[in-house]
């Protein structure tokens, strides 16, 4: 067992980080907000935490707090100009924000440019990653037992009716985006400190697509489902490595099957059972 964990430690750590990203996206999706900027928040936090650790000797908790705060501020600043956007327009705007953030990271000498940032302290171990994930899931579980979750669900299902009931839709959307940004920020700092080295390419649109798929397969309204979806789809490419060139086809077919036969994802399957 110890040998197995040692051989697959990087994959195990990546599962936890991907689960955090999927959970961060789920927070926005729960309120009906298709905001696809989680990977941008992840990158901002990764650079803030890494530069602080390299230049000022921050330990991991301080890096996580600073990176999480940086991502939260970025999410809050983004939430203001996109407050009136919905659906595909919101998705395009947040994707654009992610690309702007990536281009800035490429052109800033401070971040190492396209060559990336190296010499990041390797102090994010499995315990830190899964401890952070457990805290995030516990917090969302407690939130799910509060009356506020009813307001989230009302906004997602019918925004006009929610406004008629006196729900402040704008505040809920702002809170969801900033909270998701904070969780994505923690994931970014952990990713950087677990991998020694980061580049702007680590935080591109391709990764955001993966995070969206994790959440769709797991369940867009379930934190635990999103985490399980991330775990399943992180393990899947390794499990079907023997298929070689057909791995992407298999993954695509699996996603299509979930969309057609289980649109509520893994969470919907166990709720139905």
Domain parsing of the chain, residue ranges:
9-204
pLDDT of 179-193, one tens digit each? 999 999 999 999 999
Confidence check: pLDDT of 162 > 80: yes
Q: pLDDT-based confidence at 2, cuts 50/70/90?
A: low
**For residue 235, what pLDDT is reported?**
87
DSSP state of 166: T
Residue 265: Cβ within 10 Å count: 24
Instruction: Determine contact, residues 14/211, Cβ cutoff 8 Å.
Output: no
Residue 204: Cβ within 10 Å count: 16
Listed in sequence order, the residues at least 6 apart from 145 whose beta carbon sits closer than 8 Å to its beta carbon are: none
Look up tokens 């917090």; give the residue: 139
Compute the mean pLDDT over every residue in the chain, rounded to the nearest whole number: 89
The SS3 of residue 81 is: coil
Instruction: Determine contact, residues 257/264, Cβ cutoff 8 Å.
Output: no
Question: What are φ and ψ of residue 117, in 5° steps?
Answer: -115, 125
Could you tell me how many residues make up the chain? 273
Listed in sequence order, the residues at least 6 apart from 235 whose beta carbon sits closer than 8 Å to its beta carbon are: 11, 15
Question: What are φ and ψ of residue 145, in 5° steps?
Answer: -95, 0
Mean pLDDT of 221-237: 89
Mean pLDDT of 51-63: 94
Mean pLDDT of 97-103: 95
Closest CA to 217 of 267, 272, 180: 267
Q: pLDDT-based confidence at 6, cuts 50/70/90?
A: low
Closest CA to 49 of 211, 195, 227: 195
Greater confidence, 247 or 186? 186
Greater confidence, 82 or 261? 82
Beta bridge partners of 198: 117
Q: How far apart, in Å, are the Cα atoms of 66 and each of 47, 58, 263?
A: 10, 10, 37
Separation between Cα atoms, residue 78 and residue 220, nearest integer Å: 22
Q: Quote the percentage of the chain above a pLDDT of 70.
A: 93
Interior CA angle at 145 toward 144 and 151, to 5°? 60
């Amino acid at each position: 067992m110890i040998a197995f964990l040692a051989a697959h430690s990087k994959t195990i750590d990546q599962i936890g980080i991907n689960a955090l990203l999927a959970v961060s996206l789920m927070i926005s999706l729960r309120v009906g907000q298709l905001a696809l900027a989680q990977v941008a928040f992840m990158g901002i936090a990764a650079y803030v935490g890494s530069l602080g650790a390299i230049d000022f000797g921050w330990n991991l908790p301080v890096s996580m707090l600073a990176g999480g705060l940086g991502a939260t501020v970025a999410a809050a600043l983004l939430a203001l100009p996109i407050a009136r956007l919905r659906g595909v327009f919101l998705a395009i705007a947040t994707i654009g924000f992610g690309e702007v953030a990536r281009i800035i990271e490429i052109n800033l000498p401070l971040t190492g440019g396209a060559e990336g940032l190296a010499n990041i302290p390797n102090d994010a171990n499995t315990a830190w990653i899964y401890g952070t994930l457990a805290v995030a899931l516990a917090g969302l579980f407690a939130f799910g037992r509060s009356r506020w979750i009813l307001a989230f669900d009302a906004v997602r299902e019918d925004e006009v009716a929610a406004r008629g009931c006196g729900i402040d839709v704008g505040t809920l959307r702002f809170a969801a985006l900033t909270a998701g940004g904070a969780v994505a920020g923690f994931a970014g700092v952990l990713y950087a400190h677990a991998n020694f080295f980061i580049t702007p390419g680590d935080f591109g649109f391709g990764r955001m697509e993966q995070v969206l798929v994790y959440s769709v397969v797991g369940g867009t309204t379930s934190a635990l489902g999103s985490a399980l979806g991330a775990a399943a789809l992180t393990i899947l490419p390794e499990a079907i490595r023997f298929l070689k060139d057909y791995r992407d086809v298999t993954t695509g077919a699996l996603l299509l099957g979930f969309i057609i036969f289980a649109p509520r994802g893994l969470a919907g399957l166990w709720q139905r059972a």
